[in-house]
Structure formats: structure tokens, C-alpha cells
Amino acid sequence: MGVDDPKEVHGTDISAVAALDEPTRRKLYDHVVRQPNPVSRDEAAAALGLARQTAAFHLDRLADESLLDVVYERRSGRSGPGAGRPAKLYRRSLRQVAVSLPDRRYELAGRLLAQAVEESAATGEPVRDVLHRRAEELGTRLGGQDDAGVFDLLERHGFEPRREGDAVVLANCPFHALAREHTETVCGMNLRLLHGVLRGLHETGLEARLAPSPGRCCVRLEPAV
């Protein structure tokens, strides 16, 4: 998930991990990624002692999950009429898959922090001020791109919201390890992020406030005064 173009990819990562849970498929994936060159269906089937049809099915499933890329090449070295059809080959994709439970979003935090450091170095604005502004801008974009309510948006982004009277408590912090070691910086960033989310959603009935509590996110959404 990029900071400038935030996208929800966690669900697709889970699907990809589930695809690798099938033993034959995992062996095929491991075989392909160890090869220096793209692998054909016949080569993969022969290497693992599989029927060609079985290898083809699992390789295509891995490609459907974007775990492998498909390329077409003529293995004969010839071109033009009579050279034959290009072979369908498989190679490791550039996609990175990461799934953690409970949900963590360390890449998002890392990108925000890196942007803040770079902008601060270029402009002289204090790093924390840049970080807070960037986080709020991102939150506003997230809220503005979503047609659902605040509860659903926070659920999708890993905060595990829970109703507590008129307030919303967040049972999970997506930045847990960072917040534990760099509490003031990360909790301040998170607070501004959620300020932005509420603004982007045009949610005027709630406001984000720092309310640290064991086992919960440091931010709590309380009825606006």
C-alpha cells in the first residue's frame, strides 16, 4: 500500500498465501523461483514428476494470484513463419506478499516517516510537523475515497473498531511495535491520520483523541463536543 496511492491489498495477500497452502502448488512455486530462467509447463512437470495437465493447472493458479508472471518465448531460437508458437513460460513475479495477524501496516508508517524526513531535509520544516501533515492528508484521502462509514473503513484498515457506548475504541494498533518503542512519534502520526479519515468521510459526530489504554490503539473516537 503506497502513501500517495493507498490501496487495500491485505485481502488479496491472504488469497495468495492460501494458494500456496496446497503442497503441489507450493513445490511448483519453489521450483520456479529457484530457476535462473523462465520455466515451461513441461519442464516443471518433469522436474517434479507430475502430469503436464496437473502442472499446468497449478502454475496457472499461481499466475492468477500474481505470484508468478507469464511470458511467451520461442525456445527454438527461430523466428518468422514456421518457427512455431511461443511457449508459455513462468517466472517469479515482483509482487511481495505479507500477511500478519493481528493486522499490521508497518509499510504505511515507514513511507510516511521517510517522506517526512526527506521533506524536512529539503524545506527545513520540523520532521514531526511534516509527519503530522502528511498523515492527515493521507487519512483525508482514505476517507474521501470510501463510500462506507467510519466503522467499516477502520475495520478494513486493521484497527478492529468496537462500539463502547457512543464512542469507538480501536482494539488493534496497525503500528503496534513502532508505537511501543516510539510512542510519541507514532501515536501522534496515528492521531493525525484518524483526524484526516474523519474529515475525508465528513464525519462530524466523532473526533479522534489520544487515550492510551493497555491492549488497544492509543487513539479513541469520541462524540464531538
* Residues 6+ positions from 9 with CB-CB distance below 8 Å: 1
Answer with the one of 92, 127, 154 that is the final residue of a domain. 92
Q: Where are the alpha helices (DSSP H) in the chain?
A: 10-19, 23-34, 41-48, 52-64, 106-123, 127-144, 150-156, 176-181, 183-200
pLDDT at 22: 87
Provide the residue range defining the domain that includes 124: 106-223
Residues 139 and 201 in one domain: yes
Residue 129 lies in a domain: yes
Residues 116 and 216 in one domain: yes
On whether the CB atoms of residues 190 and 218 are closer than 8 A, the answer is yes
pLDDT at 98: 59
pLDDT interval class at 41 (50, 70, 90): very high
Residues 58 and 18 in one domain: yes
On whether the CB atoms of residues 218 and 208 are closer than 8 A, the answer is no
> How many whole angstroms separate alpha carbon 143 and alpha carbon 151?
11
Residue-wise pLDDT for 195-207, tens only, equals 999 999 999 999 9
pLDDT interval class at 11 (50, 70, 90): low
Residue-wise pLDDT for 90-118, tens only, equals 998 887 665 555 567 888 899 999 999 99
Total of domains in the chain: 2
What is the pTM for the complete model shown? 0.62
CB atoms within 10 A of CB 42: 12
Q: What is the pLDDT of the chain when averaged over all its residues?
A: 86
Residues 84 and 111 in one domain: no
On whether the CB atoms of residues 29 and 35 are closer than 8 A, the answer is no
> How many whole angstroms separate alpha carbon 117 and alpha carbon 134?
11
Residues 144 and 208 in one domain: yes
pLDDT at 36: 85
> How many whole angstroms separate alpha carbon 170 and alpha carbon 173?
7
The mean pLDDT of 11-32, rounded to a whole number, is 80
Residues 112 and 198 in one domain: yes
Q: Is the pLDDT of residue 51 over 70?
A: yes
Instruction: Characterize the bridge pairing of strands 167-170 and 219-223.
Output: antiparallel
> How many whole angstroms separate alpha carbon 88 and alpha carbon 62?
14
Residue-wise pLDDT for 131-178, tens only, equals 999 999 999 999 998 777 899 899 888 898 999 999 999 999 999 889
